[in-house]
Chain A
Amino acid sequence: MDKIPREDIDIKKQLKEVSTNALRCMQCGVCSSSCPSGRHTNLNIRKLVKNAGTNSDILKSEELWMCTTCYNCQERCPRRINIVDTVLEIRSISAHQGIILPEHRLVCQMLLKYGHAVPINDKYKIKRVEIGLEELPETVHKYTDSLNEVKELLTSCGFERFAENNTNEKQTTEITE
């Protein structure tokens, strides 16, 4: 039998741990039939959760990111399985392996730089003044000390890892919308 690399054993263990709750699944399909994303995308949440503990390919699957976290499935599951919480945990294992969509990596860069996922820009500074508000809101945008606090806190948590570009990823442009 092929040897499984050590890291892989660890990942399998993590996946198993986060999906023990899903072992109670009776495959009724209520989750999938309640899923708004599943109606329009490839996401089959019943399958995804069912396979979570046994198949580490799940970490690379695009479907993992097609859930809007609307909680319909979790609310309706007759076995009270924490479906969305499980999806979030699997996403996290994936992100910690460096598997993040380029757009999501960009959102992380925004947070690190500005303290906001969607920072202000000139157009909206002008709009704020036009309607009678101050140019900058009462947030980290206005207070440098506060922004530094946010940066320090994120560093303490090791958040930078999610913002680092993989060398094989193309650099995306800044969100301006």
Chain B
Amino acid sequence: MKGLSLFLGCLVPNRYPGIELATKLCLATLDIDCSDLPGASCCPAPGVFRSFDKTSWLALASRNIVLSEEMERDVLTICNGCFSTLADANHIIQDDEKAKEEVNIHLQKIGRKIKGNIDVRHIIEYLYQEFGPEKISSFVQRPLDIRIAVHYGCHLIKPTKERGLGSSERPVFFDELITALGATSVDYPDKMACCGAGGGMRSAMKEKSLKMTEAKLAKIQEADVDCIVNSCPFCHMQLDSGQDEIKELSGTEFEIPVLHYTQLLGLALGFPAEMLGIDIGIEKNRKLMELLDSRVKP
């Protein structure tokens, strides 16, 4: 098995640094060989940049992949958007000789060359395939006896022909990684529905995108869960900050805590909330932490 390099993207280091720290703590605890990826840029985001111009999208994605190739490591992403861009770009480079040549003409100008000899992984997919739920449970210090609404997000599994993670209609692998931590993954209607942020919707048509988010949050609220767990900082932002934005727009209040899987895993591995960027200054998060404390099994 090759070592990994951690691809941060934009949102994690620049808006949710807690997810970055949680990831690093989890990787170290699970003894996964993963190093930094110095000099990486925006993936670039699939929704906007791929829409505008495939050439620059592919070239910039390729530069990020090359940085990891030069370290002889596979790329590890913690964001569905980064995964979508880097995995799709990597497939294009590996399958289409002509596209690869064209990209290399651009890369040559900065003294780099893409080979197409590494893989792109997403942390959820990686943990499931390389560890599996059983092995993950063996690391749990603090079983999390809570009810969770898991949000897969679109680009972790779709398009399925590119991802190879099975059907997108009723996947279970993410749920299994949740139950491995002692928690219950609660089924809810429209579980596979989009958060509403993708495709440039959040940046350009925020109100419209929030309507999709509100519909999803309403279903989650009905399911009576303690928190939402996602695998993507962009979904994270939409489901989390989105709650405040919806409150302002329509007055509807959801007080549902939102965690990235690495933060949930970090809690189960025994790290305190503050180290995982779970802000207990936020009322809903404080309540979640109190609930967890009250349910610690002796």
Question: What's the nearest-Cβ distance from chain B to residue A26, in Å?
Answer: 21
Residues of B within 8 A of A177 (CB): 15, 241
Is A153 within 8 A of B59, CB to CB? yes
A51 contacts the other chain (Cβ, under 8 Å)? no
Residues of B within 8 A of A149 (CB): 39, 63, 110, 112
Task: Name the segment of B43-51, B133-141, B143-151, B174-182 touching the other chain.
Answer: B43-51
Is B275 within 8 A of A68, CB to CB? no
- A25 to B136 Cα, complex, angstroms: 45
Contact for B199 among A67, A107, A121, CB less than 8 A: A67
Chain B positions 232-247 with a Cβ under 8 Å from a chain A Cβ: 241
- A100 to B110 Cα, complex, angstroms: 29
Is B39 within 8 A of A131, CB to CB? no
Is A139 within 8 A of B52, CB to CB? no
- A86 to B14 Cα, complex, angstroms: 32
A84 contacts the other chain (Cβ, under 8 Å)? yes
Chain A positions 35-62 with a Cβ under 8 Å from a chain B Cβ: 36-37, 39-41
Is A65 within 8 A of B59, CB to CB? no
Closest partner residue, chain A, to B49 (CB atom): A111
Question: What's the nearest-Cβ distance from chain B to residue A170, in Å?
Answer: 14
Question: What's the nearest-Cβ distance from chain A to residue B264, in Å?
Answer: 17
User: Which of B41, B199, B203 is the most central at the interface, judged by chain A CB atoms within 10 Å of its CB?
Assistant: B41
Residues of A within 8 A of B215 (CB): 36, 39-40
Residues of B within 8 A of A131 (CB): 17-18, 21, 274-275, 277
Is B56 within 8 A of A159, CB to CB? yes
- A111 to B46 Cα, complex, angstroms: 13
- Of the four ranges (under 10, 10 to 19, 20 to 34, 35 or more), the interface on chain A belongs to 35 or more
Is A66 within 8 A of B205, CB to CB? yes
Contact for B109 among A138, A147, A152, CB less than 8 A: A152
Residues of A within 8 A of B10 (CB): 116-119
Residues of A within 8 A of B44 (CB): 111, 117
Chain A positions 70-117 with a Cβ under 8 Å from a chain B Cβ: 70-72, 74-75, 84, 88, 91-92, 95-96, 100-101, 103-104, 106-108, 111, 115-117
Provide the B19-50 mask, 1 if CB < 8 A to any CB of A, else 0.
01100000000000000111111101111111
Residues of B within 8 A of A111 (CB): 42, 44, 49
Question: What's the nearest-Cβ distance from chain B to residue A151, in Å?
Answer: 10
A156 contacts the other chain (Cβ, under 8 Å)? yes
Is B15 within 8 A of A118, CB to CB? yes
Contact for A70 among B15, B49, B198, CB less than 8 A: B198
- A158 to B20 Cα, complex, angstroms: 33
A14 contacts the other chain (Cβ, under 8 Å)? no
Residues of B within 8 A of A115 (CB): 41-42
Is B53 within 8 A of A95, CB to CB? yes
Closest partner residue, chain A, to B36 (CB atom): A138
Question: What's the nearest-Cβ distance from chain B to residue A103, in Å?
Answer: 4
Closest partner residue, chain B, to A124 (CB atom): B14
Is B47 within 8 A of A116, CB to CB? no
Is A152 within 8 A of B110, CB to CB? yes
Chain B positions 153-206 with a Cβ under 8 Å from a chain A Cβ: 154-155, 158-160, 168-169, 193-194, 196-201, 203-205
Is B204 within 8 A of A65, CB to CB? yes
A30 contacts the other chain (Cβ, under 8 Å)? no
- A45 to B50 Cα, complex, angstroms: 19
> What are the 5 tightest A-B residue pairs by CB atom distance, in nearest-first order?
A146-B39, A137-B13, A71-B158, A157-B56, A70-B194
